[in-house]
Amino acid sequence: MAELQWDEIDRRAVDTARILAADAVEKVGNGHPGTAMSLAPVAYLLYQQVMRHDPTDTDWLGRDRFILSVGHSSLTQYVQLYLGGFGLELDDLKALRTWGSRTPGHPEYGHTKGVEITTGPLGQGLASAVGFAYAARYERGLFDPEAAAGTSPFDHFVYTIAGDGDLQEGVTSEASSLAGHQQLGNLIAIYDSNQISIEDDTNVAFTEDVAARYESYGWHVQTVDWKRTGEYVEDVAELNAAIEAAKDEQSKPSLIILKTIIGWPSPGKQNTGKIHGSALGADELAATKKVLGFDHEQHFVVADDVIAHTRGLAERAAEARAEWQTSFDAWAAANPERKALLDRLEAHQLPADIADALPSFEAGKDVSTRAASGQVINALAEKLPELWGGSADLAESNLTTIKSAPSFIPSEWSTHEWSGDPYGRVMHFGIREHAMGAIINGIVLHGPTRAFGGTFLIFSDYMRPAVRLAALMNVPSVFVWTHDSVALGEDGPTHQPIEQLASLRLIPNLAVVRPADANETAAAWLEILRRHEGPAGIALTRQNIPVFERGEGAASGEVFASASGTARGAYVLAEAPSGTPDVILIATGSEVQLAVAARAALASEGVNARVVSAPSLEWFAEQDDAYRESVLPTSVAARVSVEAGSVVGWRDIVGDRGRSVGIDHFGASADYKTLFQEFGITTEAVIDAARETIAAVADR
């Protein structure tokens, strides 16, 4: 066991951390001081003595990962980032929760150095930490599978601090169940069991036996009770011993239940909800400083010897990094091909010939886009070992399985259908969409691999918090959503998405991609993988739809455009017969075929219709004005949108005189052809809408 060095200077540094947290909240007038005060020794122990990291390089490949799941207690992390010299300074703590500061109310990924993930909604941190642990194991299998446990430069730990709120959120139950099933010995969670939340004592809503629950999940559970004697004693040595025992347990994730008193040692507000989410107040802050031996008239005071000691972390870290570098260099020399793969992934590059790997789908065939997606995934997987994923118990429906690969599970969980390997590529999330989203985010945040998770589009509702966070963090998580409209048919309205496409498009920074045929699906996947900023959700059909006959370039005459336009979000699939459109038909997914059929029918009436396929309105919005004008010229005000979902949002594209063919009500149980006919998602409806918009334009 690593020897703990805990001297008077460490005790003073911890007390300094408490006071800095209280001072920061007092200055801004709002925030969460209590947990940061009582967790100060825990965070200090992790940052100064336990974790392998480098304050001078927060992106170092060999670092342990730390996730503050109790994100509201942001000062727990910010103070340590200041003390350890990770880039924050005292002025940053003074600027807590203010405009332009590096210390926002919750830790934000990409905003503050040393923050691995945005932890706002409770539970997301712990759930995503499971994804970090997934990624650590997969990457080890990708780069150094033969090394003995604990000897690889790719071996490290994932630490997270969670609280009562995290343990109450359902997403942590889903993810923790998976972590135990996966035997993730690299994951260590410290549960701050202070039993206080905003409504004060958690006994009003939370009395379960957490230890028993996590033991049933297959976790290694320890309890460190700083209140057990009746007198509160912060036994750091006991906590350190528990962490070391957790590190030694290689076959299970570890939960350390740490029983604390929130707000310790505030004499008047400790152990109450009053200190959870509000400033101490001048009198209580002064009293707390007196208890700890600080001058109550001074604020943000850090003794020179304290900061000199804590900033010494860089020197201590340099020794660990040098040792790691020796190991890494030896690995690189012995594994040049794997090193080249790592370099490619860290550079966010795809193989130069990756487009050649895409399958080409024969025109005239009917292929569902979910089936096309499954073929594309498997074709790309042959060239991209970094690509892995699975679904929420819907592999046969989502078609997300990499067929040549084993499952990412311990081999003892192999079944008749699935062969397990700890380093496999096929993930099985069970019926846990919310955890799946969080885990995918954790995987992507951890390192350079590309992970995807699949379910029905309707169940994107179950994973929306994680999807929103992926968008907020601007990370390239990939979500595969099949059964993308009422056309899934007989399952009925509970399974038929209506408002999902429109509502997902409301999430800033999320690309919703709904390809029109099999070849668009291939082009969409390639573009998704080319992008490394922002998540994408690809929405795919259950039912078969036509594969269009296409040319090699832009649309011209009766020759349809190639699918390469998919990458630009919207493109002219079929030009107006005369070259000058009277009306523009804009469609997505399976409804593009309706626009194509309407174009032909309108031509017989002497109406020239252009068909625009718009697989991703978000990608289209990124294009320059000239390109967007070339696709949707402002001179053509007669426009029709066609999509088997809510028409909300389409008015911005079709304008006041345009028309939208869609569904703004719930579905029914019947075959999809009947549903489309009954709900007016037909070629005839598109033709009628085209006539109406042309007439509306003419009336002006």
How far apart, in Å, are the Cα atoms of 376 and each of 258, 332, 361, 373, 417?
Answer: 47, 32, 10, 5, 22
How far apart, in Å, are the Cα atoms of 170 and each of 32, 66, 124, 167, 627?
Answer: 23, 22, 10, 8, 45
Q: Of residues 26, 108, 169, 433, which has the active-site annotation?
A: 433
Q: What value, to the nearest 5°, has the Cα angle with vertex 128 and ends 76 and 101?
A: 40
Buried b (16+ CB within 10 A) or exposed e, 25-37: bbbbeebbbbbbb
Which tokens is 212 given? 């028993």
Give the C-alpha separation, 582 to 609, whole Å.
Answer: 6
Is the distance from CB of 392 to CB of 453 less than 8 angstroms?
yes
Active site residue 386: no
Identity of the residue numbered 553: G
**Tokens 């498009």 sit on residue:** 505
Is the distance from CB of 31 to CB of 62 less than 8 angstroms?
no
Give the C-alpha separation, 105 to 91, whole Å.
Answer: 15
Sequence-ordered list of residues with C-beta below 8 angstroms from that of 209, at least 6 positions apart, any chain:
none
* β-pair type (450-456, 196-197): unpaired
State the SS3 of 658-696: CEEECCCCCCCCCCHHHHHHHCCCCHHHHHHHHHHHHHH
In sequence order, the β-bridge partners of residue 161 are 68, 190
Give the C-alpha separation, 412 to 420, whole Å.
Answer: 7
Is the distance from CB of 599 to CB of 585 less than 8 angstroms?
yes
Q: Is 439 exposed, middle or buried (0-12, 13-18, 19+ CB in 10 A)?
A: buried
Q: Which of 119, 220, 148, 236 is nearest to 472 (CA)?
A: 119
Give the C-alpha separation, 375 to 395, whole Å.
Answer: 13
Identity of the residue numbered 213: R
Which tokens is 378 given? 């498997």
Residues involved in catalysis = 433
